[in-house]
Amino acid sequence: MNDHVIDQGFDAYTDSEHAVWRTLFERQSKLLPGRAAPEFVEGLKALGVAADGIPNFEALSDILEAATGWRIVAVAGLVPDDVFFRHLANRRFPVTNWIRKPEQLDYLQEPDVFHDCFGHVPMLFNPVFADYMAAYGRGGMKALNLGALKLLARLYWYTVEFGLIRTEDGLRIYGAGIVSSRGETTFSLEDESPNRLAFDLLRIMRTDYIIDHYQQTYFVIDSYDQLFDATRPDFTPYYAQLKPLPSLSPDQVLPTDERI
């Protein structure tokens, strides 16, 4: 079974590629305190080793593994779903090894090393979130066998990628897709256009998403325990319940939704 893991090619990175990483790292590190969740900011400190250039995945993995048992593995880009879930279930996070071009600083379609490493890795230092990600991987492998990938992919999208968390100081960001994007970092918290709804597992698994612009709806958790506890039960009955229901469009709000 090909796990799609490649050599990172760390020595092949050019100075200009490290400079793109530094620009993005410095820009987001300034923007995120007071906007990102404290757990993300905490994890970012550990990532501090990578402030001046694209990190060496092996060295970063040694630090991460000591914290929560996770390692990062280099991949060339998106890998098949079953391969992705198997990695997560084994506490391996696949990180793309190439970085965007200088002219793509503000947006690119496919995740690059900045999205994957700066966006996702800091939260993997949080033990509860790290357990959630491993549980998600196990759930993903089961979902594939049940033909329910689409439903479970929505949970990943609206939490791991674009999740917000409620704190006593206000809403904070923990989603990788937001923290790695300058524009969406401010949009997700400060713009009045998107809906912000309380986390609701079945509601999320019914909700479609569009991949190439800011979210029209963000889901807000109260804690990472809430997220992890949601993944404890076997999802089979949820899938059976959801299958006959129509999907909801990303901008829809139901009367039963709790607005934040």
Question: Residue 156 CB, nearest distance to Fe ion (Å)?
Answer: 8
Report if residue 156 touches ligand HBI, rule: CB under 6 A. yes
Distance separating alpha carbons of residues 24 and 109, to the nearest angstrom:
16
Comparison of 4 and 18: residue with beta carbon closer to ligand HBI: 4
Report if residue 78 touches ligand HBI, rule: CB under 6 A. yes
**Pick from Fe ion, ligand HBI, none: which does 59 bind, CB < 5 to 8 A by kind?**
none
Report if residue 132 touches ligand HBI, rule: CB under 6 A. no
**# chain residues binding ligand HBI, by CB under 6 A:** 9
Q: Which residue has the tokens 């076997």?
A: 234
Report if residue 94 touches ligand HBI, rule: CB under 6 A. yes
Comparison of 68 and 159: residue with beta carbon closer to ligand HBI: 159
Contact 28, 179 (CB under 8 A): yes
Q: Is 61 a catalytic residue?
A: no
Residues between 173 and 232 with contacts to Fe ion, criterion CB under 5 A: 176
Report if residue 75 touches ligand HBI, rule: CB under 6 A. yes
Comparison of 74 and 164: residue with beta carbon closer to ligand HBI: 74
Report if residue 79 touches ligand HBI, rule: CB under 6 A. yes
Q: Is 87 a catalytic residue?
A: no
**Pick from Fe ion, ligand HBI, none: which does 84 bind, CB < 5 to 8 A by kind?**
ligand HBI
Q: Is 213 a catalytic residue?
A: no
Site string for Fe ion, 77-116 (x = CB under 5 A): ----------------------------------x-----
Question: Residue 69 CB, nearest distance to ligand HBI (Å)?
Answer: 19
Question: Residue 160 CB, nearest distance to Fe ion (Å)?
Answer: 7
Per-residue H/E/C for the chain: CCCCCCCCCHHHCCHHHHHHHHHHHHHHHHHCCCCECHHHHHHHHHHHHHCCCCCCHHHHHHHHHHHHCCEEEEECCCCCHHHHHHHHHCCEEEEECCCCCHHHCCCCCCCCHHHHHHHHHHHHHCHHHHHHHHHHHHHHHHHHHCCCHHHHHHHHHHHHHCCEEEECCEEEECCHHHHCCHHHHHHHHHCCCCEEEECCHHHHHHECCCCCCCCCEEEEECCHHHHHHHCCCCCHHHHHHHCCCCCECCCCCCCCCCEC
Q: Is 42 a catalytic residue?
A: no
Distance separating alpha carbons of residues 81 and 76, to the nearest angstrom:
14
Q: Could you list the residues that contact ligand HBI (CB under 6 A)?
A: 75, 78-79, 81, 84, 94, 111, 153, 156
Q: Could you list the residues that contact Fe ion (CB under 5 A)?
A: 111, 176
Please list the active-site residues.
115, 120, 161, 180
